[in-house]
Amino acid sequence: MTWKFNYDQNRIPQTMVEGECPACSSCSQLVSGASNLGCEPIKHYTKVLRRKRNCHSETHNYVYVEVWEPFIVGCSCRTASRAASDPNDTHNPPQ
């Protein structure tokens, strides 16, 4: 797993640290003979402030709204059949 900065000028905080799951050979090394294992990202939803596109016409201040956004926090080894049957296997953000 590697880490990167996720920058978005329309979000507070503007910079978040997020993981990346490269095609990892370490998964297939964990179980001998298991060549169908691959890496899948583990996502965690975090509340951020998202800037709306337009600013207030009189004050020229931006309006922000609270939203839940997913960030990759880890990687998990999965079989190809499980990943194919569950392509969007992420938890829904809190309400």
pLDDT for the residue numbered 38: 75
* CA pair distance 49, 61, nearest whole angstrom: 14
pLDDT for the residue numbered 82: 53
Is the per-residue pLDDT at 92 higher than 80?
A: no
Residues 6+ apart with CB under 8 A from 46: 16, 68, 69, 70, 71
pLDDT for the residue numbered 84: 47
Q: Summarize pLDDT for 59-73 with one digit per residue, the tens.
A: 778 889 999 999 999
Q: Summarize pLDDT for 15-39 with one digit per residue, the tens.
A: 999 998 876 666 766 666 666 677 8
Whole-model pTM? Answer: 0.69
Region 2-85: CATH code? 2.10.90.10
